[in-house]
Structure 1
Amino acid sequence: MFKNYKVLYAEDDAGIRKNIGEILSLLFDDVLLAQDGEKAYELYQNESPDIMVLDIEMPYLNGLEVAEKIRKSNKNIPIVMATAYTDTAYFLKAVELNLTSYILKPIETSDLKKALKKCEEQLSYSKNSEIHINQSAYYNVGERTLYINNSEVRLTNIEMQFLEYMLKNPNRVINYSEFEYNIWEEGMSGPAIRTLVKDLRKHLTKESIQNIPKVGYKLVLQK
């Protein structure tokens, strides 16, 4: 599934690093290991991994600090954060940094695979020239154009950004704060987001953009 990608895993505990590294070696042909945040950032710069898995607490630079440095120049690389913390402040920072996923420690193999699957979906978005949303609608990534029954649909810039963010995170519930952090730096009210979704549903279907009450929205790609 992940053989064509290069993954970097950073963890300061040698035992955990060895164990998770062995699991990753079964999934990837190319695995990079780092013992601290400073080394992780150095490897990122020199080796250009496709996916980053970072422990949140490491010497020199912690996982969030590494992610923050990376995001200054790379908004798209999938980053997974491994954490033993459930503090809300950590999660808010994770949302701000547009992390693909987070997994709680001790890391379970099933949770790791689920997080990596999300990374693979995100990477696939940039490689696909067309993403089919349902039987009548697809999005041309290169053209940044939505087509319904093979006819071009004109979207506003904000509609396009919203749809593209959901296409990068298909079949996943995206909460309201995540939209605000990653699309609108100045923020956007709940009613404004609902209006935006209502306008997009005029082109798509209610089944394609599903509302999860009091949480957010999910784009369901229908085969």
Structure 2
Amino acid sequence: MNQNKFSILYAEDDERIREKYAKFLRLYFKDVYEATNGQEALELYEENKPDVIILDINMPVVNGLEVAKIIRRRDKETQLIILSAYSDREKLLAATELLLTKYLVKPIQSFELEEIIVKCIHNLQARDDKESLLYLDGDFIWSKEEETLSKGNVIFKLTQKELLLLKLFCSKPNLTFSNIDILNYVWEDDIQSDFNTNKLRIVFSKLKTKLSFNLFSSQYNVGYKINQKRNI
């Protein structure tokens, strides 16, 4: 399979194993992020928001199950694969509650990993095809290809910051983005930019006024999420 636009985070503390499988994963993914422990995995997740995550269940600092739990608290979309050096019934039962794509017992054969990776990529491609038009609350529609927001026959004229805001949220509509996530993306090219959340609230407020509708919901101490239309 040819390399695609998707990204993967691979967390494994055994350097030899990590290097072997990271090389394999680069055949399938545009970006492969490597972590040597659970804390690094969380930091790389926050920074890069990968489409797929592979976590070894036993890692130093923070174990793989705890990393998965932290991610799942606000992200139900990213595909998670858990690896374990042994079949542990208790840990397996805990892992099944985390909406895993797969739980694999080590040592892993290349064909097993290839099979699940191909499945993940097919899921991502199907998601993108389905979401080329994203139907939002209030009968608004976001077009990924044209990068436009419309309602009925009206296409709204967006400022650069409003456009970046919608691109971020609509890229992963099931994800809750923190203030830092949003500021890093929307103001990425502003060299003098600081992490003042007031300007963030101003963009949300002006967009709400322009649309006469609030597309976003907030979760205290977590962040913001775009509201999708129910029962399309």
TM-score for the superposition, normalised by structure 2? 0.54
- Structure 1's 122 and 168: CA in aligned 2 closer, same or farther, altered over 3 A? farther
TM-superposed CA distance for 1:90, in Å, is 4.4
- Once the two structures are TM-superposed, the CA of residue 184 in structure 1 deviates from its matched residue by 2.5
2:169 aligns with: 166
How far apart in 1 are the matches of 2:19 and 2:181?
A: 22
Contact 1:82 1:103 in 2 (8 A): no
Q: CA deviation at 1:219?
A: 0.9
Structure with max Cα Rg: 2
How far apart are the structure 1 equivalents of 2:122 and 2:207? 26
Rounded to whole Å, the distance in 1 between the matches of 2:181 and 2:138 is: 28
Distance 1:215 1:118 in 2: 28
Assess if the C-alpha contact under 8 Å between 1:121 and 1:169 holds in 2: no
Q: Output one character per residue of 1:158-217: Cα deviation in whole Å (capped at 9) or x when no partner.
A: 1111111101111321112222333322454211111111222231633x3001122210
Q: Cα deviation per residue 1:97-140 (whole Å; 9 max; x = unaligned)? A: 232465654223554329x9899468634664422112421112
Match of 1:152 among 152, 155, 166: 155
| Residue among 102, 105, 112 paired with 2:100 | 112
Matching residue within 197, 205, 217 for 1:198? 205
Residues 1-150 of structure 1 mapped to structure 2, 5 A cutoff: 47-49=2-4, 51-57=6-12, 58-59=15-16, 85-87=37-39, 90-100=41-51, 102=53, 104-106=55-57, 107=82, 108=95, 110-113=98-101, 120=123, 124-125=127-128, 128-150=131-153
Name stretches of at least 5 consecutive residues in structure 2 with no aligned partner.
Answer: 58-81, 83-94, 103-118
Alignment partner of 2:137: what SS?
coil
8 Å contact 2:52–2:120 — kept in the other structure? Answer: no
Matched-pair identity in %: 18
How do 1:169-188 residues align onto structure 2 when only pairs under 5 Å count? 169-185=172-188, 186=190, 187=193, 188=195
How many residues are treated as equivalent by the alignment?
166
Give the stretch that moved more between structures: 128-137 or 188-197.
Answer: 128-137
The corresponding residue for 2:227 is 220
8 Å Cα contact 2:9-2:54 kept in structure 1: no
Change (3 A) 1:162 1:126: farther
CA offsets per residue over residues 33-91 of structure 1, 9 Å max, x none? xxxxxxxxxxxxxx31565544223449769x98xx99xxx5xx7x7x7978442x543
SS at structure 2 position matched to 1:173: coil
What amino acid does structure 2 have at the position aligned with 1:136?
Answer: D
Gaps of 5+ in 1: 1-5, 7-46
- Which AA in structure 1 matches 2:162? E
On the 8 A contact 1:82/1:102 being kept in 2, the answer is no
Q: CA RMSD in A?
A: 4.1
Question: How far apart are residue 152 of structure 1 and its match?
Answer: 1.3
Distance in structure 2 (CA, Å) of the matches to 1:155 and 1:92 = 32
For the residues of structure 2 that align with 1:61 and 1:82, how far apart are their CA atoms?
Answer: 8
